[in-house]
Amino acid sequence: MHATKEQLDAQAQVLLQQYRESELKARERAQIPLQEMPTQQPQERVYNMQEVALGYSENQVRVEAMRCLQCKNKPCIAGCPVAIDIPAFIAEAAQGNFTKSVEIIKESSLLPSICGRVCPQESQCQKFCTVGKMHKDVDQSVSIGRIERYVADYAREHGTETVPAVKSATGRKVAIVGTGPASISAAADLRREGHQVVMFEALHKAGGVLVYGIPEFRLPKKIVEHELDNLASMGVVIKRNYLVGKTRKISDLMEKDGFDAVFVGSGAGLPKFMGIEGENYIGVFSANEYLTRSNLMKAYAVGESLTPLFDSHKVAVFGGGNVAMDAARTAKRLGAEQVTIVYRRTEVEMPARKEEVAHAKEEGIEFLFLHAPLKITADEKGRVNGVQLITCELGESDASGRRSPVEIPGSEQMHAYDTVIIAIGNDSNPLIKATTDGIEVNRRGNFIVNEETCETTLKGVYAGGDIVLGAATVILAMGQGRKAAKAMHAYLMNL
């Protein structure tokens, strides 16, 4: 059993009485114990879609903030794609000045409630934390993301956050394709400068991957809706059910509709498949489809949603990233008795966040390492009834630095499954390239852009996020959105 939120809060209260923030020396700060994130109990959360991580209490967040050494060289900022002044917002949190804390974050990031939940801080800001280095363990770094989440939630829940100010109208008009994290950042920064901003969303709900890709139990959708409401309060217009490339082409937006510049943040929504036999059988899903049916179309709300729910009992998920964890944990919540993540390397090489892997294990997700699928089999009705897997061993390191899986001949075996979810990544959305002359892409279909400005090979058209980077993190996408917005503002003011 995990410690309850009340127990963790009581422990933090004792520590808060023991330490006086202003009197602490660096070594004393580093010895303050890391504050554990309270969570729903595993045996309860697998039966609901509510958020797993419950968030720090006020006592916990202040104690965790006191662990920060306030280093003069601020190494953590080097790991933040949008260069948040991390020591400054943590110092305010330690004093209990939560509104001031979130104001500092929002100078650089519009989405702290979201980034605090889903960004891989352990491989970004927390990777460079001096406290983690003193302990020789990044898991002991100051919990920057958890503090960020708390102060952002505090401001939202107490109504103390402010909507960014907008400068006088410039008369310039910008189109933003997509409403994911890169697009949200670009839209906010461009609107701040006084430009008219219109966002175009292909689906009936805005938010991009934040709403269709990330499950409710990791990122409640009311938080995404709140951030989009903030954009609307700034005067950003969001048009839904509008597929740029079909409803209207980029050239139409610029030549017929009067837009002076376009930012493309349409993401990487084209799922990859493995090219193995049986991928078209009933019961085989891309992780994109599976998660979209649950997250966006609310398939889990039986009796309330019209989206059909596939009846799964034994599920195999191919892949080892965060999307694979999301799909497996969703399958468990949708009623599957057994869910197995099949990964061709070992746990050490898995790209998923440690926290997500740990949560999956707690929820009863099984892991089959060093196995790769060869083919999917089905019954006479075309419904999945098994997967042939081959055992692998690790060979030499590949370009990613991970050791390559090598199949062991003769080790093939059949395994019984009735559902297969393929979570091995996505390619860039090909629609805009196919309908826009002058846009160049690389061999993966990602837009080629100027690294400094994010401008594409078509004048006045910029791009960022997954359409450029491939599958990337929320904060990296936001960083590109901000970089593009800065360059777009300069371009617009010189027209």
Q: What is the pLDDT of residues 216-270, one digit of tens each?
A: 999 999 999 999 999 999 999 999 999 999 999 999 999 999 999 999 999 988 8
126-130, 248-252, 302-306, 314-318: least confidently modelled range: 302-306
Whole-model pTM: value is 0.94
Output the pLDDT for position 1. Answer: 63
Domains 5-158 and 273-424 agree in fold: no
Is pLDDT above 90 for 20? no
Output the pLDDT for position 417. Answer: 98
Under 8 Å between Cβ of 167 and 194: yes
220-229, 399-408, 485-494: least confidently modelled range: 399-408
Q: Which of these, 90, 81, 88, 174, lies nearest to 120 by C-alpha position? A: 81
DSSP string, 56-98: --HHHHHHHHHT----TT-GGGGG-TT---HHHHHHHHHTT-H
At 450, list the tokens.
């100027």
Output the pLDDT for position 405. Answer: 94
Place of tokens 């006191």: 66
Query: What share of the chain has pLDDT > 90, as a percent?
Result: 86
79-93, 199-213, 382-396, 426-440: least confidently modelled range: 426-440
**Distance separating alpha carbons of residues 350 and 153, to the nearest angstrom:** 31
Output the pLDDT for position 21. Answer: 66
154: left (phi over 0), alpha (psi -120 to 50) or beta: alpha
Average per-residue pLDDT for the chain: 95
At 83, list the tokens.
């260069």
DSSP label at residue 128: G
So what's the architecture of 5-158 in CATH? Orthogonal Bundle (1.10)
Q: How far apart are the first and last CA of the chain?
A: 62
Place of tokens 């003069």: 72
Tell the burial category of 276 from Cβ atoms under 10 Å away from its Cβ (0-12, 13-18, 19+).
Answer: middle
Output the pLDDT for position 302. Answer: 79
| Annotated domain spans of the chain | 5-158, 173-268+427-493, 273-424
Is pLDDT above 90 for 335? yes
Place of tokens 């003769």: 410
SS (H, E, C) 400-442: CCCEEEEECCCCCEEECCCEEEECCCEECCCHHHHHCCCCCEC
Q: Which of these, 141, 92, 140, lies nearest to 112 by C-alpha position? A: 92
Top-tier CATH class for 173-268+427-493 = alpha beta
C-alpha to C-alpha distances, 126 to 5, 72, 112, 147, 288, nearest whole angstrom: 24, 16, 16, 12, 29
At 421, list the tokens.
């979810």
* pLDDT level of residue 306 (50, 70, 90 thresholds): confident
Residue 263 carries which side chain, given as an amino acid letter?
F
At 195, list the tokens.
């430009």
Query: Average pLDDT of 273-279?
Result: 97
Place of tokens 């509510």: 50
More confident residue, 183 or 20: 183
Decide yes or no: CATH 3.40.50.2300 for domain 273-424.
no
Report CA torsion sign: 329, 331, 332, 333. Answer: positive
